[in-house]
Amino acid sequence: MNTGKEIAQKFCDGLSQSHIPLVSGFAYGVDSIVHQMAIQNHEKTIAVLAGGFQHIYPKSNIKLIDPILENGGAIICENDVETEPYKYLFALRNRIIAALSRGTIVIEAAKTSGSLITAKNALELQKDLFVVPGGLFDEHYEGSNQLLVEGAKCVTNYQQIIEYYHPSQESEKVLSSQKEIPSEYQKIYHCLKAPKTSSQIAKALSYSMAEINAKLTMMEIEGYVKSMPRELLYKAIGSLLYFIYCMPYFFVVK
């Protein structure tokens, strides 16, 4: 049976590879896994500290700070730099984690788990709440299963979270036409083994932004891509292109 840490690793690996930034609390266990997987996949992650910057806790995570910042993430704290990480501050900082995130994922929560505080914060802020189910008689999931009873969204893999925001009906509709990709679009298509923004595509293929935007516009007109608002991530699906809007979907994993 998979442990909470193993589940967190799979979820965070998949989400960060899908270019979804992750938010967590920089503590031991699952929090550390969240940040480590984001770093491994060169994705943004935000760490919300309980104490001040002069009292980083745990010290074993200090090594994560530089990689987080190098990947465009952030280390934030609402307290004075000299504030020690008192126990009550960990629960208090959870409201910030929830506020920064579009959705909260509870991986494993016992009846008295601090994750339940974050879940409550998320619901109060009208954020989406996802919960991984556990064994009925496993006390490590007693809190998780209660959240499901109360109406949280049940998920068993990270794809279901992406699916929630980007229903597959659209991609299935696109796939059904199965058009052959014209030669002038082949480079863009093969570049999209993972979702990318137009600027990332331009950089990877040494195109100017004007050139890549012109090509993407024509691909949309011809039915090879579908436009969505704000910052765009393009993703190759089957023999067609389909792109999803992921940023700035920050997810907290507890």
Among the listed ranges 40-49, 79-88, 157-166, which one has the minimum average pLDDT value? 157-166
Greater pLDDT, 250 or 38:
38
Q: Cβ distance 238 to 178 under 8 Å?
A: yes
Q: Give the integer Cα–Cα distance in Å for 34 and 57.
A: 16
Each residue of 147-183: pLDDT tens digit? 999 999 999 999 999 888 876 544 444 443 445 778 8
- Percentage of the chain lying above the pLDDT 90 cut: 54
DSSP per-residue string spanning 42-75: T--EEEE-SS-TTS-SSGGGGGGHHHHHHTT-EE
Q: Is 206 exposed, middle or buried (0-12, 13-18, 19+ CB in 10 A)?
A: exposed
Give the three-class secondary structure for 168.
helix
Looking at residue 215, what DSSP letter applies? H
Q: Are 229 and 178 in contact (CB under 8 A)?
A: no
Q: Would you mind telling me the total number of residues written for the chain in this entry?
A: 254
What is the DSSP pairing of strand 128-131 with strand 153-154?
parallel
- What's residue 249's pLDDT? 40
10-19, 58-67, 73-82, 157-166: which range is least confident on average? 157-166
Please state whether beta strands 103-106 and 251-253 pair in parallel, antiparallel, or not at all (unpaired): parallel
Q: What local confidence, expressed as pLDDT, does residue 217 receive?
A: 77
Residue whose C-alpha is closest to residue 194's, from 239, 235, 241, 245: 235
